[in-house]
């Protein structure tokens, strides 16, 4: 009898849609769960180099929580490309301007840094309110 490890193909993924409510959820714990679902680590067919994950919809991103003094001490950086062009914003100000980006940045940091990671990141949809335009996909509710 031949024993081998099954390697998933691109067409093996069913691509279910999951809905996550971020209200009162801790940012890091939420992001690690979402990243694992995007990657497909919950799937028995998980293969590291193939997209076997689900589509994730995160609602209520404006109600996510951070512990300790991270609202004032956690900084997000970007650079314009010019000398002295480093821009800094705290988590509190980012929450006021673009609350969806808090979750996006946290999840993106937990995905692989290659073309597969960029493909997986496109399967994440984040909304600040409790409404989303993906009702036609009939997402199943995922408890975090």
3-state secondary structure labels for all residues of the chain: CCCCCCCCCHHHCCCCEEEEECCCCEHHHHHHHHHHHHHCCCCCCCCCCCCCCCEEEEECHHHCECCCCHHHHCEEEEECCCCCCEEEEEHHHHHHHCHHHHHHHHHHCCCCCCHHHHHHHCCEEECCCCCCCCHHHCCEECCC
Query: 4 pLDDT band (50/70/90 cuts)?
Result: confident
> In the structure, what pLDDT confidence band is assigned to residue 13 with cuts at 50, 70 and 90?
confident
Domains of the chain: 15-67+99-141 (3.90.1180.10)
Mean pLDDT, all residues of the chain: 95
């Amino acid at each position: 009898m031949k024993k081998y490890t099954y390697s998933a193909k691109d067409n093996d993924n069913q691509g279910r849609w999951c809905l996550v409510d971020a209200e009162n959820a801790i940012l890091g714990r939420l992001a690690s769960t979402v990243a694992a679902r995007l990657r497909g680590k919950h799937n028995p067919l998980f293969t590291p180099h193939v997209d076997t994950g689900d589509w994730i919809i995160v609602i209520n991103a404006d109600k996510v929580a951070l512990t300790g003094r991270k609202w004032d001490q956690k900084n997000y950086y970007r650079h314009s490309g010019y000398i002295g062009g480093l821009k800094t914003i705290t988590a509190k100000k980012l929450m006021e301007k673009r609350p969806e980006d808090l979750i996006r940045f946290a999840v993106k940091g937990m995905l692989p840094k290659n073309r597969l990671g960029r493909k997986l990141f496109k399967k994440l949809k984040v909304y600040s309110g409790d409404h989303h335009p993906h009702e036609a996909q009939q997402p199943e509710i995922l408890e975090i």
